[in-house]
Amino acid sequence: MTTVSLDIRERVSELRDLIRGHDYLYYIKEQPDVSDAEYDRLMRELWKIEEENPGLVTPDSPTQRVAGAPAEGFDEVTHHRVMLSLSNAFDDDELRAWHERVAGLLETDQFDMMCELKFDGLAVALTYIEGVFVRGATRGNGVVGEDVTANLRTVNSIPLYLTADAHPDLLEVRGEVYFPKSRFDEFNAKREAQGLPTYVNPRNTASGSLRQLDPRMTAERPLDIFMYSIGYSEGGAVPDNQRDALEFLDSLGFKVNRYNRAFSSVGDVLDWYGYWREEFHNLDYGCDGLVVKVNRFDYQQHLGEVGREPRWAIAYKFPAEQAATTLLDVRFNVGRTGSINPYAVLEPVYVGGANVSRATLHNEDYIASKDLRIGDRVIVERAGEVIPQVVRPVIEERAGSETEVVMPSECPSCGEAIVRSGDEAMSYCANASCPAQLVRLMEHFVSRGAMDIEGLGEKWGAILIAQGLVGDVADLYYLKQQDLAQMNLLDAIAAARSSEFASALDKIGIPGVGKKTSGILADRYDSIPELIAAPKGELAAIGGVNERAADSIIAYFLDDDLRAAVDDRGGAFAELGLVDGPTDLYYVNKEHLLRPETLRQKSVSNLLGAIEKSKGQPLTRVLVALGIAHVG
């Protein structure tokens, strides 16, 4: 064993401290204090000593930012605490309403609010143990993210070692990785000169860069980061409010955005928002609004969250970017609940940081209210990751050759009749076995936000359905190896069997029941049988569940096909938290649940027919007219 002299050890320690100090001034404070040549000389000296004395190499050494071979994939990471999403405000009234709700819950309107820029990047969580960076993870679904430690180590503004002494033993901090606009333009210019394809926008490029399997690829992209919160800590004191927390992060050597202010009045918050609404375009990073937070952490804890959104914070978004283009066509697809969804085919236009050639048209009423016609010049808007939408036609530019949009009378997928109730904005395919519905449902079911079955998307879902291997989502859990020859999906499907009830409820596709409502229901009920047993009045009385959602929940389980699937596949659904095992299911009248034998008509088609004969309104399989007509 080679003995390393004390002089060499001391020189290594000195070099690391010098380089870390220069890195802090250059990447964090943007105040370089040495020339590039001098910095390179120090780094080369450290590289040489470590190469000659490999026993001195440590993970937090400045030489170890880019290290290791390409990974085969990313491991999952469970966050110390849930990384919450933010609810949005889009006008002054909505922000005032949020402030009033918070004041009501706190029983005082005397509280400070921290206003911070909302960065348009990729949220990450960084973990430090004894001051050493040990793990970095993407946000993922808020509970579980991907371990991208090796890639985050290449981001020079992330300290690998906290030089300040006053850090907790365990510290998790949250921030936003972004690609500076100026560096992005330089990066694209370099790629173009090399004959390589260029990238569309900094946000998506930052996200893709962070998920490269080879950290050397990530290191080639000049990513940056702003830290904005303390997620979790143990073994040391941390501030008790957001304003001091930002100063604390800065003192530890993290890069903190300087454009944050504390205000005690909504008027001041709105003035600050108004200033940045006009100025954010001049920033060298993507910004799509302000984040407004209750400053005191004890107030935040008292306010809590609903679903996975904190009551103590809100994002006040900047207006969406708009551009003019031509509406070339209107087409229709089928959603997972059978909804017939019109969408615009557009002449490609760059707006909101992306090239847009498709945009939502919402529903038939939206098209009619805007008087949209094929061939129109139209205004399209897109904000952040929001789906682009057609805002209005430019009527003054009409030439007279434009044509009206005609809604289909038959499902574009299965050819069955399309139905629409009098009080619904959407039209629906009434065929419960519609292939397009099943494909969309499977897409949602296996998505990262639901069951998260890796590798099973629209392509494989369509193949499995076409080959008759899957007739409903429960069939996924009964597939055999011979069914999936060379698809390599069985392990991914098996890994997704365990899922919390809220996620399971969200993924089965009840109209009007998304992630937030699913979370609320999961707090109240433990399984589908318990949910089915709840009268409409009880459901509608739950905070966050409106009467329409209650109707949809009850009506959804009128579907014989779904009931048969749950009865037949009790074991599979039990693993999803849907049922405790095979169970008797129920039909429903206006308020109460009835056992199947109490109804003469047991199929959805017969029920719909009976409703029509009783002068009720014909509805879809998932929105049977509860309370409009009695059956049986």
* DSSP 8-state code for residue 199: P
∠ CA(177), CA(179), CA(181), 5° rounding? 140
Whole-Å CA distances, 21 to 31, 47, 127, 157, 256: 11, 17, 21, 12, 17
Q: Where are the alpha helices (DSSP H) in 384-514?
A: 435-446, 458-466, 490-495, 501-507
Residues 56, 4 contacting (CB under 8 angstroms): yes
Distance from C-alpha of 509 to C-alpha of 553, rounded to nearest angstrom: 10
User: Distance of CA 37 to CAs 28, 215, 220, 341, 400, Å?
Assistant: 20, 25, 20, 60, 67
Strand-pair partners of 132: 129, 161
Closest alpha carbon to 532 in 562, 568, 571, 499 = 562
- The SS3 call for residue 416 is coil
d(CA 559, CA 350): 43
Q: Are 85 and 143 in contact (CB under 8 A)?
A: no
Phi and psi torsions of 225, nearest 5°: -150, 145
For CA atoms 350, 353, 357, 362, give the dihedral sign: negative
- Beta-strand (E) ranges in 386-429? 389-393, 403-404, 418-419, 428-429
Estimate to the nearest angstrom the gap between the alpha carbon of 266 and the chain centroid: 28
Residue 537, Cβ neighbours under 10 Å: how many? Answer: 11
- Report whether 565 contacts 519 (CB < 8 A): no
560 membership: H or E segment, kind and range:
helix 560-568
Q: Which of 29, 48, 118, 515 is catalytic?
A: 118
**What is the C-alpha radius of gyration for the chain, rounded to an integer number of angstroms?**
28
Could you tell me where the DSSP H helices lie in 304-384?
A: 364-370
CA distance 102 to 240: 19
Specify whether the CB–CB gap between 83 and 139 falls below 8 A.
yes
Q: Yes or no: say if 254 and 159 are a contact pair by the CB < 8 Å rule.
A: yes
Q: Which amino acid is at 630?
A: H
Sheet harboring 224-234: ordered strands across?
A: 132-138, 122-129, 170-178, 224-234
Tell me the one-letter amino acid at 270: L
Report DSSP state, residue 207.
H
* Ranges assigned E (strand) in 186-320: 224-234, 260-263, 287-294, 305-306, 309-310, 313-317
Burial string for 203-239 (b: 16+ CB within 10 Å, else e) reads bebbeebbebeebeebbebbbbbbbbbbbbbeeeebe
Question: From CA 617, how far away is CA 632, in angstroms rounded?
Answer: 17
| 507 given a catalytic annotation | no
Query: Which residues are marked as active site?
Result: 118
